[in-house]
Amino acid sequence: MEDRQLTYPIGLLSYYREAELRGADLLQRLLRKADDGELQIKLTRHLADEARHAWQWTELICELGGEPAALRTGSPQWLRRQVGLPSSILDLLALTQVVEERVRQRYREHAARPGEEPRIVAVLQTILGDEEWHLAWVEDWLAKAQKKEGRTRVTAALDHYRALEVNAYAELMREEEKLRAAEVSLAIVPW
Ligand SMILES: [Fe+2]
Ligand SMILES: [Fe+2]
């Protein structure tokens, strides 16, 4: 197992990159389950966006002198451990919605930080443009599911994943503080 020093902002961008890749994982799982054409189209476009976002962070990490690494710790992994692998489309989309809400809130907050490196802000803004559509179409699908499956089932799934995600996000905040405070050694998976 290789240990590498990841400092701010490369360490933080590595978390963002990891989160985009995890999002792409979730969408691939959804694509294997979705049986209607309309859903296949939306999921494929969504997957293409998340893969591009992971690439944008990868490019920037390299441009800033860092090297991409697969993280072994941090909030995306924490969430995965807590959530496991939901099997229904409704659960997977509720989880996607919760994760997307956080991404938008987090990227907006980060883009507004005074004195932030302009190249980081530029990538955040570009990605934020795509995130609006992600939230809109998933929200729309969940609203239709409420009519079919009942409000309680959808609300319960959203509440469940929101409660788990809050803890995962707290994990990211702790990691970010460590990254800012000093050089920390994060366990990474060598490619
Ligand atoms: Fe994304
Ligand atoms: Fe997204």
pLDDT at residue 7, rounded to an integer: 75
**pLDDT tens digits for range 114-147:** 999 999 999 999 999 999 999 999 999 999 999 9
What are the structural domain ranges in the chain?
Answer: 3-189
Q: What is the mean pLDDT of residues 96-113?
A: 94
**Which ligand is closest to the CA of 135, given by its number?**
2
| Measured CA angle at 14 (ends 170, 62), to 5 deg | 160
CATH topology of domain 3-189: Ferritin (1.20.1260)
pLDDT at residue 189, rounded to an integer: 41
Of 2, 59, 18, 54, the residue nearest 175 (C-alpha): 18
Which residues sit with Cβ closer than 5 angstroms to ligand 2, an ion?
100, 131, 134
Cis peptide before 9 (omega within 30 of 0): yes
Q: What is the mean pLDDT of residues 60-65?
A: 95
CA of 53 to the centre of ligand 1 (A): 5
Residue 89 token pair: 């489309």
CA of 50 to the centre of ligand 2 (A): 6
Q: What is the mean pLDDT of residues 160-167?
A: 92
Helices (H) and strands (E) in the chain, counts: 6, 3
**Which ligand is closest to the CA of 56, given by its number?**
1
Distance in angstroms (rounded) separating the CA atoms of residues 132 and 100: 9
CA of 190 to the centre of ligand 1 (A): 24
Instruction: Name the more confident of 56 and 22.
Output: 56
pLDDT at residue 144, rounded to an integer: 94
CA of 17 to the centre of ligand 1 (A): 9
CB neighbours of residue 115 within 10 Å: 5
pLDDT at residue 179, rounded to an integer: 75
| Burial letters 149-178, b for 16+ CB under 10 A, else e | eeeebbeebbebbeebbeebbebbeebbee
Q: What is the mean pLDDT of residues 9-33?
A: 92
Query: Do residues 29 and 85 lie in contact, with contact meaning Cβ atoms separated by under 8 Å?
Result: yes
**Which ligand is closest to the CA of 19, given by its number?**
1
pLDDT at residue 149, rounded to an integer: 84
Distance in angstroms (rounded) separating the CA atoms of residues 97 and 155: 12
* Band of residue 169 on the pLDDT scale cut at 50, 70, 90: confident
CA of 50 to the centre of ligand 1 (A): 4
